[in-house]
Amino acid sequence: MSNTADLLVVGAGPGGMATALEASRNDASVILFEVDEVIGGNASRSTGYLAFQDFDMQSDEDLTDSPEIFFDDMIAEIERQKEKYGIIFDEDLAKIFAKESSETYSWLCELGFEFNRFLPRPLQHSVNRMVDVKDTTMFTTLFETALEESGVRILTSTRVERLIMENSQIIGIATSKGEFYANKGVVLAAGGYQANKALRQRYQPESMASSPYLGTEHDIGDGHLMGQEVGGDLINMTMIPPLIMVGSALVEESIAVNRDGERFHDEAGPYDYRVNELKKQPDQQAWYIFDNQTFKRKSQLIHEMPEEPHKAESLNGLAEEVGIDPIHLKKTVNTWNEFLTTDVLNDPLFGRVIFPNPRIGITESPFFASKMVIGINFPAGGFRVNTDLQVLNVYGEPISHLFAVGDCVGGLGPVIGMGGMRITPALTLGRVVGRNIATDQVSQKQTLENADRIPANKMKIPVVDA
C-alpha cells in the first residue's frame, strides 16, 4: 500500500479520530496512526463526560444556552485558575469550540452515540450542559465502523517517532513501520505527557512528578517532543492540576468518609476543591465507600484506581478493616441512604447535586472502601496554535503543514477543571481541522495576532547595571 496520503494523523484518541473521519468525508486520503493496539485513546477508558451548548437535550428541558454563555463560563474558570497558574488562554479558539460544540453533539448522535443525563456542575457550568455517554466503549466501536466505512487507513501498534521537515515545511513522519508522507499536512493528536516522569520533572516539583496520573502508559509526550523539535511553541506546560484519582462515574455512587466515619465535602465538587478538602483531614486520609452493586457496575473504574479496595461483608467489618470509627460510619451511610429515598435535589450537608441514577443507596454487601489518593489530572500544556489549528513557533508564525488537536493543543487546556472539557474540545476542533485541511481552507500565512507582550521598560534607570 502507498505510504503517501493527503493527511497523516498521529494518535487515534477523540481528536485524531474526529480529524481523520471529517477529512476523509471531505474526500481527503487519510492514514491514522495509533501506538496502542486499539483506537479510542483515553476516551474509551474514561467516564465519558462531554459538554455542549444549544443541543437537543437542552431543548428538551427548555434550557437556554449559547456560545456566548459557554464562553463566559470558560472565562470565569480561567479567572479562578489564574490564582494558581500562569495561564495563556486562547479566547479565539474557545469561541470556535463553543460555537461548533452544538454540531459536534449532532455529529456524535449520527455516529450512533447515546447519552444518559445532565450532570450538574453549577460552580463551573452556569447552565446544565455536561452529559455522559451511555457506554464509553463507543469511542472505539463506533469510530472503528465509521472510519472503516469512510476509507481511513488505520495503523495500530505503530509509534510515530519523528516529523520529517524539508525546506521549512513538514512533509511526513518517521514511524516504527517506516516513513510516510503527507500532501496536505500532519496533525499531532498524540495525547498528553502525564506518563513521562522525565518530562514532568521539567515542569513540576520532584515531589509531584512521580504521582499517579489519569490516562494510559502511552501518554508520554511524543507529540509535544516531536513538535518542539521542529520549533513548536509549548504553552501552559506547568499547569498539571492535582486531583483525587477516581472516576467520576464511581463518585456518583459513593460517599467519602474520614477516619471518624464522617463525610467532609461534596464528593462530586470541583477537582481542586476535593484535593483541598482531603488535605484538611487527619493524616490526609479518607476513603470512598460503596457497595457490591457499584462494584459490579463500575469494576473497570475501580480496578484503575491506584490501590485495590478494602472489602468486608458488613459496614462494621469494613470499618475495622480500614481503621474507621464503626458507629459513625454506619450512621453516615444510613443518613445517606435515607436522603436518597427523597426527591431532594441538593445535599443539605455539602450542596452535592450529582447522585446515583437511579437513586440507589449503599445497601448490598459486601461493602468496599477505596483510599483517596492524590494524583494529577490531564496536563493543560500543548502547542500554541492559530484558529486553523496550525502549530506556531515562538514568533507566532505557523509551521507549514503542521497541525495539532486534543491534548497537543495548549490554549484550551486550562479549562479542563470545568468537566467535560477535554474530550469535547478534541472532537470539536478535530472536526474543524479535518474539514479545513481536506477542503484547502487553511491559510499558510496566518500568524498569531495580539501576542502577549510585556510592556517595554519605562523606568529612568538601567535595567541592568553596566
**Where do the structural domains in the chain lie, given as residue ranges?**
4-240+378-438, 243-376
In the prediction, which pLDDT does 1 show? 82
In the prediction, which pLDDT does 445 show? 60
What ranges make up the beta strands (E) of 176-252? Answer: 178-188, 234-235, 242-244
In the prediction, which pLDDT does 208 show? 86
As averages over each run of 10 residues, the pLDDT of the chain (466 residues) reads 96 99 99 98 94 98 98 98 95 98 98 97 96 97 98 98 98 98 99 96 90 94 98 98 93 98 97 96 97 95 93 98 98 98 96 95 98 96 98 97 99 96 98 97 66 51 46
Three-state SS for 70-139 is: HHHHHHHHHHHHCCCCCCCCCHHHHHHHHHHHHHHHHHHHHHCCCEEEECCCCCCCCCCCEEEECCCCHH
The number of residues in the chain equals 466
In the prediction, which pLDDT does 153 show? 99
Task: Tally Cβ neighbours within 10 Å of residue 259.
Answer: 18
CA dist 421 → 74, 113, 394 (Å): 10, 18, 26
Of 247, 234, 184, 249, the closest CA to residue 408 belongs to 234
**CA dihedral in degrees (231, 227, 22, 135; nearest 10)?**
-150
CATH: 1.10.3720.10, 3.20.20.450, 3.90.700.10, 3.10.50.40. Which one for 243-376? 3.90.700.10
Whole-number Å distance between alpha carbons of 342 and 232: 54
CATH: 3.40.50.300, 3.40.50.150, 3.50.50.60, 1.10.3080.10. Which one for 4-240+378-438? 3.50.50.60
Q: What's the pTM value of the predicted model, to 2 decimals?
A: 0.92
